[in-house]
């Protein structure tokens, strides 16, 4: 499945956790409701870093090919070899290791020491810095591509967009990617109901100084074991923040689903369908000087 449409729309340091306005919705329109609750969810992952690492899936190669394609939506081109890529909100390095395996020059930035510790265990020689989308600890024009996996919905877009543009080279690209469970499959929909967090398409607001965003979706299936499904559920922010007794009860409901659903009962591995939602937008290239 592949759908395409267009929608208009100092090198080291330590930075604060994901920054959010005090009340209401972010200026980028990323969330509604209680800001303190949203911040708690955004900052919940560090203590569960090992569970996140075990439970979360990789990203399909076709999606990464598209995000990194030399021909961009604004007619620009990514021509540097190797590309300098910032994995922003890198977490435990699920995306980072796939980028590094492509021979790219990768830097990871994440607000959580716990998540970066897991990343450092897997990629000990890769540069990894504490920072946020609103405060990136890199020099101006120091990378060609900024990729944000499973994280753009946590940021303050009004602050993050100019900060991403600052660290990008002229004609550079911002790419967003999310793995979303495909809940057209009955057992996957029921899993979302148990978690209390049905999947939904993410907002891909970018805006100036970037050109129009191009959006594409990739359908794929991830083979996953019983323990990994439990870790996948336990790595969700809403589940991390539950009281221990409530978390245990929820995971028992997941075990019951695995034991009783006709598509799952008696099996040790399951094919979990995903739709990977991607967006890419390029900065204008540097103007040529007439002579």
If 0-12 CB within 10 Å is exposed, 13-18 middle and 19+ buried, where does residue 202 land? middle
Q: Determine the pLDDT at residue 284.
A: 78
Taking Cα atoms as reference points, which of 10, 23, 25 lies closest to residue 158?
25
Q: What angle do CA 285, 289, 291 make, to 5 degrees?
A: 155
- Tell which phi-psi region holds residue 215, choosing left (phi > 0), alpha (psi between -120 and 50) or beta: beta
Q: Determine the pLDDT at residue 1.
A: 39
Torsion of the alpha carbons at 260, 262, 263 and 266, rounded to the nearest 10: 60
pLDDT per position as a tens digit, 24-76:
333 333 333 333 454 433 344 444 677 878 888 999 999 999 999 986 655 55
Please say whether the beta carbons of 275 and 182 come within 8 A: yes
Inter-helix orientation angle 244-260/226-234, to 10° = 140
Report how far residue 110's alpha carbon sits from residue 131's, in angstroms, rounded to the nearest whole number: 5
Topology, domain 2-282 = Rossmann fold (3.40.50)
- Tell which phi-psi region holds residue 232, choosing left (phi > 0), alpha (psi between -120 and 50) or beta: alpha
- Going residue by residue through the chain, which has 291 residues, state the pLDDT in tens, using 9 for 90 and above: 333 322 222 232 323 333 333 333 333 333 333 334 544 333 444 446 778 788 889 999 999 999 999 866 555 568 888 999 999 999 999 999 999 999 999 999 999 998 899 999 999 999 999 999 999 999 999 999 999 999 998 899 999 999 999 999 999 999 999 999 999 999 999 999 999 877 777 888 899 999 999 999 999 999 999 999 999 999 888 888 889 999 999 999 999 999 999 999 999 999 999 999 999 999 977 665 555
pTM over cut 0.85: no
Report how far residue 142's alpha carbon sits from residue 138's, in angstroms, rounded to the nearest whole number: 7
Q: What angle do CA 63, 64, 66 make, to 5 degrees?
A: 65
């Amino acid at each position: 499945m592949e759908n395409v449409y267009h929608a208009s729309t100092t090198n080291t340091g330590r930075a604060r956790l994901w920054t959010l306005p005090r009340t209401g919705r972010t200026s980028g329109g990323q969330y509604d409701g209680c800001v303190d609750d949203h911040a708690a969810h955004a900052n919940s992952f560090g203590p569960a870093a090992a569970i996140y690492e075990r439970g979360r899936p990789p990203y399909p190669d076709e999606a990464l090919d598209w995000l990194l394609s030399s021909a961009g939506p604004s007619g620009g081109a990514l021509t540097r070899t190797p590309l300098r890529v910032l994995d922003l909100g890198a977490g435990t390095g699920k995306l980072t290791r796939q980028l590094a395996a492509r021979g790219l020059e990768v830097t990871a930035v994440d607000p959580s020491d716990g998540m970066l510790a897991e990343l450092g265990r897997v990629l000990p020689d890769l540069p990894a810095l504490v920072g946020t989308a609103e405060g990136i600890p890199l020099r101006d024009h120091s990378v060609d591509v900024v990729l944000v996996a499973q994280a753009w919905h946590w940021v303050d877009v009004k602050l993050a967009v100019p900060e991403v543009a600052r660290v990008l080279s002229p004609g550079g690209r911002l790419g967003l990617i999310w793995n979303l469970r495909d809940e057209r499959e009955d057992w996957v929909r029921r899993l979302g109901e148990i978690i209390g967090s049905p999947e939904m398409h993410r907002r891909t607001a970018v805006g100036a100084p970037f050109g129009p965003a191009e959006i594409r979706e990739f359908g794929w299936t991830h083979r996953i074991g019983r323990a990994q499904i439990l870790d996948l559920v336990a790595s969700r922010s809403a589940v991390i923040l539950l009281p221990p007794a409530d978390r245990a009860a929820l995971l028992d409901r997941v075990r019951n689903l695995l034991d009783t659903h006709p598509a799952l009962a008696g099996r040790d591995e399951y094919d979990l369908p995903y739709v990977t939602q991607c967006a890419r937008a390029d900065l204008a290239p540097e103007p040529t000087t007439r002579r």
